[in-house]
Amino acid sequence: MKITVTTHDDNLFVLDVNDDLELNNFKALCAMETGIQSDQIGLTHNGQLLVDDFKAMKTLGVHDGDVIIIQRLTNSSTSSNSGFVNPSTNIMPQFDFSRIEVPGTSGGNQPARQNQMEDAEYVRKLFLSSPDQLALLKQNNPRLADALSSNNLEEFAKVMAEQMEERNRREDQRIRMLKAHPFDSEAQKLIAEEIRQKNIEANMEAAMEYNPEMFGTVVMLYINCKVDGHPVKAFIDSGAQTTIMSSACAERCNIMRLVDNRWAGIAKGVGVQKIIGRIHMVQVAIENDFLTTSFSVLEEQPMDMLLGLDMLKRHQCCIDLKNNVLRIGTTGTETPFLAENELPDCARLTTSSDYDGSKKEDKELKKALEESKKLYQSGESSNSSSQSFKESDINELVNLGFSREQVIQELNRFNGNKNQAMASLFAKILKF
């Protein structure tokens, strides 16, 4: 849309901008045209002062062909009780910011903190009531998702506040880039970082569109076997040098008495673990074959047994991913790899922290699904007769800083459910 901009000294120019452009960015464009610093620019539209810097132009009521008047903010004192332009002097009033409490001071710290906690609690409930947005948050913003699943409201509020501050800081950097000199080295660094981030986001979006399977979890390769007659789920790891077994599994298989402590030491790989000793010869039953191997017994090992490269090479094993089987070359026997529902608990996760919090996350997800089902049923019964939305719901979401088109789009997506639409809008804002 084209907006006509004029100043008090009859300087007139036209700016062609997007209707989603925020007010602070529009001020930066005006600063480039007039030479006035953006923090000294006041904009008046239809006799009203535009004060919310982070709202879009169309949200502030600016349309194509409108006229905006630029006023320079000066240090001259005017009436402190008036927030409008003095028509006789045509000068914007100098606002008094001395009474605004800075967060962290004694005066306004408690109310600000209370409001922050209330906002965090409200956003947290919105995410918990929408499992699809919760899953999206876990993918795009794992740190905030971890704080959400920790059931610690203070931690969630702290992380959300930090990320919003970081978002505002990046926005300020972007504004400085617009106002900076083209050959400013600091501005060039910021521009390079902005380009790098955009390239990363574009690369991720392309991967999600063309190769979505890359974001899934790969099922680890496990087989069923027996050690001294005891069933064990063994992990096939061609990257491990030796075959290992946990001390707990050795106790269950009644072979702990065969451990030779002279072979104790330290196993180094991704981490460092203590080796209790070695069992020199044990028969492992795979299907109808009995294969002889040795084990290094580790003190703290989440997997019961790991078949390493020493055994795989000795028996000429072949990992056939096409047919999803392990083929033993010396006998020709094939054993299938286990399906995901047959894997042990330690094989379903990628990190120990996830393993510790898996039960808690399962409970949170189950609770969120139940709440979402109830919320959907109540919203479906109220919106099944008509696709029209309440104007009050639209205005409430627009007042939160979203455009009317975005609000209507999300309401259409969730069949008029205001809470789920709000959760989706917040999820897109908090993408970090």
Give catalytic residues, as residue numbers.
Answer: 237
The one-letter amino acid at 269:
G
Distance, CA of 307 to CA of 223 (rounded, Å)? 10
CA distances 175 to 23, 37, 129, 216, 337, Å, are 11, 12, 36, 38, 55
Provide the 8-state DSSP code for 42: E
Q: What backbone phi and psi angles, to 5 degrees, belong to 92?
A: -70, 145
Half-sphere exposure (Cβ direction) of 140: Cα atoms closer than 13 Å: 18
Helix (H) or strand (E) holding 172: helix 153-179
Render 222-272 in DSSP notation, one character per residue: EEEEEETTEEEEEEE-TT-SS-EEEHHHHHHTT-GGG-BGGG-EEEESSSE
Q: What does 328-342 look like in DSSP terms, one character per residue?
A: ETTT--EEEPPPGGG
Q: At 293, which helix (H) or strand (E)? A: strand 289-298
Helix (H) or strand (E) holding 125: helix 109-128
